[in-house]
């Protein structure tokens, strides 16, 4: 017996049948919010990377804090216990006025054949030797000393050599004299002898030095002071010549120096000041003004 077929039924949707079911949409949205947003935040789980701008304020704050804290940090002192090394504080250079140089003299002079000459005349070497001798204030063996030292030089122009010798009657300790002589030899090693006009080949010179402690300027030895050498000088170590007369300062200000050209300034003489002339060395005049004595350039006094 054949099975009866079910009749075909066709449903035609109405105008309202295609509308979404809003209740279901709301449930799906709520579930998505809980799973994607609310739950990771509550659980402290980071689902994705931070945005670049999230970390910038923290970095800037760290840099600013480090920079502001750096200046306020005090330097940490190095330990001074066993095994530590403490750098010594560098000592200041002693002032050059702790060494005063007396008037130099020529004791002997010799010609090319080695024959001693009766008269040696003048030798313009003070401008080279005296500044070098004042540099002995920095010699380690001379620092803190007080007393007199007679020092000699054998000057050989052909060989361009200067040998240092010790004079007689020195009041400095003998243990330090040798150290000073070694310093003097170094100072004279490269003396430009070619700049010194000379008549003879070899000269023996002598100077007297006075040493004083720092803070107490050394007194310049007086001309003719006893240096332990009774031999009559055979010449002078300078081209200074005696002059007489007077002059008037022609510049607005004339510098009165302790030594010609590069000497320390001892006074300033204004225009119209009258000075007494007592010596001359090339373009420099030795003058007296009141209780001051020094050197001025010839142009400053109209000469």
Q: What CATH number has the domain bearing residue 286? A: 2.30.30.40
Mean pLDDT of the region 171-175: 86
At 84 the pLDDT is 39
Q: Phi and psi (nearest 5°) for 161?
A: -125, 150
Q: Which of 236, 255, 281 is the last residue of a domain?
A: 236
Looking at the fold, whether 135 and 105 belong to one and the same domain comes out as: yes
**b/e code 90-120 from CB counts within 10 Å (16+ = b):** eeeebebbbbbbbbbbbbbbbeeeeeebeeb
Same domain? 173 vs 106: yes
Task: Give the pLDDT mean for 114-131.
Answer: 89
Q: What is the pLDDT of residue 188?
A: 93
Residue 73 lies in a domain: no
Closest among 269, 267, 239, 264 to 251, alpha carbons compared: 269
**Per-residue model confidence (pLDDT) at position 85:** 39
Percent of the chain with pLDDT over 70: 64
Question: Residue 283 — very low, low, confident or very high, per pLDDT cuts 50/70/90?
Answer: confident
Q: Residue 49 above 80 pLDDT?
A: no
- Model pTM? 0.54
Q: Are residues 114 and 132 in the same domain?
A: yes
Q: Is the pLDDT of residue 266 over 80?
A: yes
Whether 176 maps to a domain, the answer reads: yes
Residue 292 forms part of a structural domain: yes
Extended beta strands in 157-234, E state: 161-166, 202-211
Instruction: Report whether pLDDT(80) > 70.
Output: no
pLDDT tens digit string along 180-221? 999 999 999 889 999 898 999 999 999 999 998 877 777 777
Count structural domains, the chain: 2
Is 74 part of any domain? no
Say whether pLDDT at 113 is over 70: yes
| 232 shares its domain with 247 | no
Q: Which residues, 6+ apart, have CB-to-CB distance to 141 below 8 Å?
A: 176, 178, 179, 180, 182, 183
Neighbours of 212 (CB within 10 A): 19
- The mean pLDDT value of the chain amounts to 76
289 and 264 in a single domain? The answer is yes
Q: Which of 180, 215, 236 is the last residue of a domain?
A: 236
Q: Residues 172, 287: one domain? A: no
Q: 91 falls in which pLDDT band (50, 70, 90)?
A: very low
Mean of pLDDT values over 145-151: 91
Q: Does residue 278 lie within any of the structural domains?
A: yes
Domain boundary residue, one of 197, 215, 236: 236
Report yes or no on 58 lying in a domain. no
- Indicate if 232 and 249 belong to the same structural domain: no
How high is the pLDDT of residue 169?
A: 82
Q: Which domain holds residue 120?
A: 96-236
pLDDT band, very low/low/confident/very high, at 19 (cuts 50, 70, 90): low
Whether 71 is covered by a domain: the verdict is no
User: Both 121 and 210 in a single domain?
Assistant: yes
- Do residue 183 and residue 254 come from a single domain? no
Task: Take residue 51 and report the two structure tokens written for it.
Answer: 């945005």
Please indicate, yes or no, whether residues 101 and 133 belong to a single structural domain of this protein: yes
Do 191 and 117 fall into the same domain? yes
Q: Are 147 and 171 in contact (CB under 8 A)?
A: yes
The CA distance from 257 to 254, in Å, is 9
Is residue 140 located within the same domain as residue 232?
A: yes
Lowest mean pLDDT across 21-25, 141-145, 156-160, 175-179: 21-25
Region 22-29: what's the mean pLDDT? Answer: 63
Angle CA 117–163–234, to nearest 5: 25
The reply to whether 124 falls in a domain is yes
């Amino acid at each position: 017996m054949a099975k009866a077929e079910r009749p075909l039924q066709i449903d035609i949707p109405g105008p309202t049948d295609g509308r979404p079911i809003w209740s279901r949409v709301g449930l799906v949205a709520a579930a998505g919010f809980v799973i994607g947003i609310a739950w990771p935040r509550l659980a402290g789980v980071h689902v994705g990377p931070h945005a670049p701008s999230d970390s910038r304020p923290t970095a800037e704050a760290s840099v600013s804090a480090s920079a502001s804290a750096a200046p306020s940090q005090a330097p940490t002192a190095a330990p001074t216990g066993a095994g530590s090394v403490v750098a010594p504080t560098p000592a200041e250079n002693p002032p050059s006025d702790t060494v005063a140089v007396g008037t130099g003299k020529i004791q002997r002079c010799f010609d090319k054949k080695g024959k001693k000459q009766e008269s040696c005349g003048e030798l313009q070497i003070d401008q080279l030797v005296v500044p070098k001798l004042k540099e002995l204030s920095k010699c380690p063996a001379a620092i803190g000393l007080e007393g007199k030292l007679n020092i000699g030089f054998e000057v050989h122009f052909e060989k361009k050599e200067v040998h240092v010798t010790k004079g007689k009657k020195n009041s400095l300790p003998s243990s330090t004299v040798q150290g000073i002589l070694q310093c003097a030899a170094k100072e004279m090693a490269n003396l430009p002898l070619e700049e010194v006009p000379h008549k003879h080949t070899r000269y023996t010179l002598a100077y007297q030095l006075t040493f004083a402690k720092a803070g107490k300027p050394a007194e310049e030895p007086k001309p003719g002071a006893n240096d332990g050498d009774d031999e009559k000088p055979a010449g002078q170590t300078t081209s200074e010549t005696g002059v007489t007369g007077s002059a008037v300062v022609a510049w607005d200000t004339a510098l009165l120096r302790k030594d010609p050209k590069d000497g320390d300034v001892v006074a300033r003489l204004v225009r119209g000041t009258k000075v007494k002339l007592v010596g001359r060395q090339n373009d420099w005049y030795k003058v007296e003004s009141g209780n001051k004595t020094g050197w001025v350039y010839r142009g400053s006094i109209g000469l």
